[in-house]
């Protein structure tokens, strides 16, 4: 946890399915007039202000006080830019050295940290969802996660699937969080209160809607409406995560640790 380099070996050569980027001509001078990094930075600024649908090459250029065509000297396409943003978001992600005694805790930390990064920029989950972490920069993270699963004692075919499952869960959950925020923003002051979209008001309205359903037709939805709406997103995230962790734990050879959260005494 306090050792960022632990479990993260050197990046591998580029994989054959990676979009090849034009090799940097040479090392950037002290204060570059425009660089790949500055373009990515500006793109994040535009993303946070306008959302993914408002993120255009022209907007990024405008943010940098430059013509659109100037961007294409540093970035080969918009897709390339999005991939750079995805890679930069997860760059320097701390991965733990696998500890069989604490594997569930480690996966929990990993998932929470991933969600936190996705939440740090608007619509980032939508960008993440469109990419696969098998790039040179991100492969060490995949390796470390697999290490945690295998060291814990999970069968290989389960461990191979677990990484995907967890990543999909994180992306999907944050994506949905963002959708509710967008909805709440559009719902209240149209464009005025876009800063703090009243999520509580949205939740209340949803709950009213569920409560207004014909009781005979939607008994379960009515009964659970409180739970589906109330409660922080953090709690809901942890519950889904726990379901997955318990499912994984059920594949451990030791039956004692199968259906319990804290396998401290082994």
115-174: contacts with its own copies (CB under 8 A)? 129-130, 132, 134, 139-140, 142-143, 146-147, 150, 156-162, 164-165, 168-169, 171-173
Pick out residues in 1-30 that bind its own copies (CB under 8 A).
9-10, 12-13, 15-17
Please list, in sequence order, all residues whose beta carbon lies within 8 angstroms of the beta carbon of residue 245, skipping any fewer than 6 positions away: 104, 107, 108, 261
65: left (phi over 0), alpha (psi -120 to 50) or beta: left
Residues near DNA (CB under 7 A), total? 20
If contact means CB under 5 to 8 A according to the sort of partner, which of DNA, its own copies, none does residue 57 touch? DNA
Contact 219, 229 (CB under 8 A): no
For its own copies, the closer of residues 168 and 193 by Cβ is 168
User: For the CA atoms of 187, 42, 60, 116, what is the dihedral angle to 10 degrees?
Assistant: -40
Site for its own copies in 93-112 (CB under 8 A): none
Is 127 an interacting residue with respect to DNA (CB under 7 A)?
Answer: no
Greatest C-alpha distance within the chain: 71
Number of residues that bind its own copies (CB under 8 A): 71
Q: Is 227 in the site for its own copies (CB under 8 A)?
A: yes
Q: Determine contact, residues 106/148, Cβ cutoff 8 Å.
A: yes
- What is the closest distance, in whole angstroms, from the C-beta atom of residue 224 to its own copies in the complex? 4
Rounded distance, CA 119 to CA 117, Å?
A: 5
253 binds its own copies (CB under 8 A): no
CB of 43 to its own copies, least distance (A): 19
């Amino acid at each position: 946890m306090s050792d960022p380099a632990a479990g993260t070996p050197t990046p591998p050569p580029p994989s054959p399915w990676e979009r090849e980027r034009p090799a940097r001509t040479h090392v950037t001078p002290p204060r570059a007039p425009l660089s790949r990094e500055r373009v990515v930075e500006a793109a994040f600024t535009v993303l946070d202000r306008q959302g993914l649908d408002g993120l255009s090459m022209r907007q990024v250029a405008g943010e940098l006080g430059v013509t659109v065509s100037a961007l294409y000297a540093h970035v080969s396409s918009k897709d390339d830019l999005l991939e750079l943003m995805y890679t930069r978001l997860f760059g320097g992600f701390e991965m733990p050295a696998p500890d069989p005694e604490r594997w569930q805790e480690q996966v929990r930390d990993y998932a929470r940290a991933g969600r936190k990064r996705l939440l740090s920029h608007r619509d980032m989950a939508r960008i993440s969802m469109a990419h696969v972490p098998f790039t040179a920069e991100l492969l060490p993270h995949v390796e470390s996660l697999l290490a945690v699963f295998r060291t814990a004692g999970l069968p290989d075919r389960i461990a191979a699937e677990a990484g995907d499952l967890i990543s999909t869960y994180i992306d999907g959950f944050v994506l949905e969080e963002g959708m509710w925020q967008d909805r709440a923003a559009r719902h209240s002051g149209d464009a005025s209160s876009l800063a703090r979209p009243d999520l509580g008001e949205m939740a209340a309205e949803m709950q009213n809607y569920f409560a207004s359903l014909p009781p005979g037709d939607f008994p379960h939805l009515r009964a659970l409406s409180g739970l589906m709406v109330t409660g922080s997103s953090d709690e809901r995230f942890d519950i889904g995560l726990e379901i997955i962790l318990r499912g994984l734990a059920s594949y451990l050879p030791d039956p004692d640790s199968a259906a319990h959260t804290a396998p401290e005494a082994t």
